[in-house]
Amino acid sequence: MHRIAGFYLAILLCFVLVTGTLAVVSHELDYLTNPAMRAQSTNNPVNWSQTYRVVNRYIPAGHRILQLHQPEHNGFAIEALVINTQGQRYRVYVDPVSYDATGTGRWMNWQNSLRRLHRHLMLPLGLGVTLVSSLAVLLLASLLSGWVLVPNWKKVLWQWPRRKNSRLFWADIHKLSGAWSSWLIVVIGLTGLWYLVEQNGLKASYAPAPVARWSAADWAQSKEALVAQITQAEAAIALQRPGFTPTAWYLPNEAGDALRIDGRQEGILVRDRANSITIDPLTGQWLTQRFAYQLNLHHRISEAADPLHFGTWGGYPTKLLYVGFGLLLSSLCLTGTYLYALRFVRVRDKPAQWHLLKTGVKKMGVWGAVSSAGIVMAALLYLQFIAT
């Protein structure tokens, strides 16, 4: 069972695990590769109305601001998502201390690319999410069968790999890596199953956003008044909901759209959308509010899935923990393939490790071919997406 669960789709599983591991630190990868994201450190709250003004002055006429997001970490810039006259999106960054625009970034950055590749392999959303999240079944089956094969796994945690021969050494490495990464398999396996059932009928949806009471004739006036409404909203939040810290503003895109503000307040292990406010952008009237502590069990599980799956719930410490153990977990696909290939060669011939991996891939048969073709297709779709 362990071989069936973990071997035949090892190529695809390894790809999903590696992209997921990198997705945990995708914002940091963007920070390292795009100087515009680097800003001065501050603990002061974001001045959202000033941010809106700065971005509005920076972008060309006809371009529209869609979203504003607080810095991911201290030292990161504020991010604005903008759409141009051709319907293409891009990002503008603002220093949260000087409130100067620091530059722009692509819509398809590391964070967006890795998220799409990991979540649905660039395939249509329903098909891709179902395919990727189904791998959670294989992960959990591999874990359970591994526990059966190695009943004394607590001892394995502290057993240094033996160097008597390559088969024994890599078998010990495989067991050691599996034992130490078991907790992560449980977390991403269970959350992966949740994504599977969500995608196929148990999605925890919220009520549709209310329609703001303004018409197309008010659109030009609303754009001019939006800065004032953001300023008023900031002041109103401080008075009416003082524990709420805005982290993202979703601006109206067309007549009738409400202004939505997501943020942080009560509740642990929830996405920021679990606490939100919607406002009429023309009148400033509060239309709805959402509090994390008022959500039912279904919604709480749904909101906890992402923080648990990607390790974002504890900031840098949990991100680094997930990355370290994620790489360890990804390596199981390689060591497992290597060990299976050792069954078909003579160890005393000292075959090259690359030759052994090739042998293992060949033994996957049609499953290996399908996995490889799927990854190539995802890569081609990704290249086509960024080219357009």
- Residue 177 and residue 159 share a domain: yes
Looking at residue 6, what is its pLDDT? Answer: 59
pLDDT tens digits, 23-53: 999 999 999 999 999 999 999 999 999 999 9
- Residue 185 and residue 52 share a domain: no
Residue 300 lies in a domain: no
The least confident of 4-18, 55-69, 109-123, 225-239 is 4-18
Say how far apart CA 195 and CA 202 lie, in whole Å: 9
- Residue 141 and residue 15 share a domain: yes
- 297/341: higher pLDDT: 297
Residue 285 lies in a domain: no
Residue 235 lies in a domain: no
Looking at residue 209, what is its pLDDT? Answer: 72
- Residue 338 and residue 192 share a domain: yes
Q: Please state the rounded mean pLDDT for residues 288-303.
A: 92
Residue 71 in this model has a pLDDT that exceeds 60: yes
Residue 191 lies in a domain: yes
Pairing of strands 78-83, 64-69: antiparallel
Q: Calculate the alpha carbon distances from 71 to 55, 79, 297 in Å.
A: 15, 7, 30
Residue 336 lies in a domain: yes
- Residue 196 and residue 57 share a domain: no
Residue 214 lies in a domain: no
Most confidently modeled of 98-107, 163-172, 343-352? Answer: 98-107
pLDDT averaged over the chain? Answer: 86
- Residue 120 and residue 73 share a domain: no
303: exposed, middle or buried (C-beta count within 10 Å: 0-12, 13-18, 19+)?
Answer: buried
- Residue 164 and residue 20 share a domain: yes
Looking at residue 193, what is its pLDDT? Answer: 96
- pLDDT band per the 50, 70, 90 thresholds, residue 162: confident
Say how far apart CA 306 and CA 146 lie, in whole Å: 26
- 108/267: higher pLDDT: 108
Say how far apart CA 76 and CA 29 lie, in whole Å: 12
User: How far, in whole angstroms, is CA 385 from its chain's centroid?
Assistant: 19
Looking at residue 357, what is its pLDDT? Answer: 57
Q: Which of 63, 84, 108 is the last residue of a domain?
A: 108
Looking at residue 355, what is its pLDDT? Answer: 57
Residue 218 in this model has a pLDDT that exceeds 90: no
Amino acid at 187: V
Q: Please state the rounded mean pLDDT for residues 344-369.
A: 58
- pLDDT band per the 50, 70, 90 thresholds, residue 362: low
Say how far apart CA 11 and CA 370 lie, in whole Å: 9
Q: Which residue has the tokens 């197309």?
A: 216
* Domains identified in the chain, total number: 2
- Residue 194 and residue 135 share a domain: yes
For the domain that residue 94 is a member of, what is the CATH number? 3.10.450
Residue 135 lies in a domain: yes
SS3 content of the chain, % helix, strand, coil (to 5): 60, 10, 30
Residue 98 lies in a domain: yes
- Residue 119 and residue 24 share a domain: yes
- Residue 92 and residue 75 share a domain: yes
Q: In this structure, what DSSP letter does residue 268 have?
A: S
Q: Which of 108, 130, 150 is the last residue of a domain?
A: 108
Percentage of the chain lying above the pLDDT 90 cut: 56
Structural domain boundaries enclosing 103: 35-108
Say how far apart CA 27 and CA 32 lie, in whole Å: 9
Taking each helix axis from N to C terminus, what angle separates 366-387 and 10-24, rounded to the nearest 10 degrees? 40
- Residue 21 and residue 39 share a domain: no
Looking at residue 194, what is its pLDDT? Answer: 96
193: exposed, middle or buried (C-beta count within 10 Å: 0-12, 13-18, 19+)?
Answer: middle
- Residue 371 and residue 326 share a domain: yes
pTM of the model: 0.87
Residue 384 in this model has a pLDDT that exceeds 70: no
Q: Please state the rounded mean pLDDT for residues 203-227.
A: 69
Q: Which of 76, 108, 140 is the last residue of a domain?
A: 108
Q: Which two tokens stand for residue 110?
A: 């590391």
